[in-house]
Homo-oligomer: A and B are copies of this chain.
């Protein structure tokens, strides 16, 4: 609970800053309703990005809860986007390609999991190698992929692709963003993850493993299997995020699609209350944590900050948020 207060405070401040910027900058002649409309439009843009971040954050957070780490997330996102593009371009129906890509992501996670649990390799190392491998695999598949290329090659798929795009990304056939569907996807997935994490036996196993793998093993938990599963889920979610990226973007470039996302996902998870020592985290926290970076980036962009200033401002804000969070937790702890 208290783990959530810090990130909530941070988010509140950022959103307040955002709305304040719009209100302050509203031209004198503009009616308030118009300002509100513009704010809303911008918040939808942000929510859309938050949704996709959130999806991978969920996966990263689960891995972190079990005491692991996955640095291959960004590469898997890129790979999956490219794979989806290549598959559909070559005639695999989008409705088939979607589960296929997600399954493929899951397979990647299974390989990661096997290497980590069977060969007892360090997760950092395995997934760092994975980062190279899957990035390379994407490049071997294609240089770039795009909806237009797919539709050109497979005109029949236009409708189904557009359907997926509307349902998963919220963009209509003209490309207009109607609603932040990706955020809806995130909420649905977060509910599922939250159920498993907080309401089912599996969640207990994951927390137990994260805190004390040996104790979990001695209590009869199949530690290897559970850990492997968590990697599967993480990479499958990255696979889904890849499809979202494909559907949302003008085009995806194999060498860079999804770049840095593993860091952002881990950041979101940690801001949301996961400890990299394992054993801590909540589904609500993950969603909140994932919301931070996109709104922060939006805020600095909207305020027209000089590009050279942006990284510093982002870094310092995140740090301030982290410190705030720590103080709130200390307070709470002292009170009890």
Measuring CB to CB, which residues of chain A are less than 8 angstroms from any residue of chain B? 71, 115, 119-122, 124-126, 128-137, 139-140, 254, 263, 266-267, 270-271, 275-276, 307-316, 318-319, 322-323, 326
Question: CA A120 – CA B275 in complex, angstroms?
Answer: 12
Q: How far is the CA of A197 from the CA of B295 in the complex (A)?
A: 44
The secondary structure that dominates the A interface is: helix
- In the complex, A271→B121 CA distance in Å? 11
Give the distance to chain B from A262, nearest Cβ to Cβ, in Å: 11
Q: Please tell me if the beta carbons of B131 and A322 are within 8 angstroms of each other in the complex.
A: no
B308 touches A129 (CB 8 A): no
| CA gap between A275 and B266 in the complex, in Å | 20
- The answer to whether B267 touches A128 (Cβ under 8 A) is yes
User: Does A133 contact B326, Cβ atoms closer than 8 Å?
Assistant: no
Give chain B nearest CB distance to A289 CB in angstroms: 11
How far is A74 from B322 in the complex, measured between Cα atoms in Å?
22
* A312 touches which of B115, B136, B267, B310 (Cβ 8 Å): B136
Residues in B with CB closer than 8 Å to A120 are 326
Shortest distance from the beta carbon of A278 to any chain B beta carbon, whole Å:
11
What is the bound-complex CA distance between A316 and B140, given in angstroms? 14
Structural contact, A326 and B121, CB atoms closer than 8 A: yes
Q: How far does the alpha carbon of A63 sit from the alpha carbon of B171 in the complex, in Å? A: 46
CB distance from A137 to the nearest CB of B (A): 6
Most chain B beta carbons < 10 A, residue from A132, A133, A323: A132
CB neighbours of A130 from chain B (8 A)? 315
- CB atoms of B309 and A136 under 8 A apart: yes
Q: Are B308 and A133 in contact (CB under 8 A)?
A: no
**Cβ contact within 8 Å between A275 and B122:** yes
A129 to B326, CA, bound (A): 15
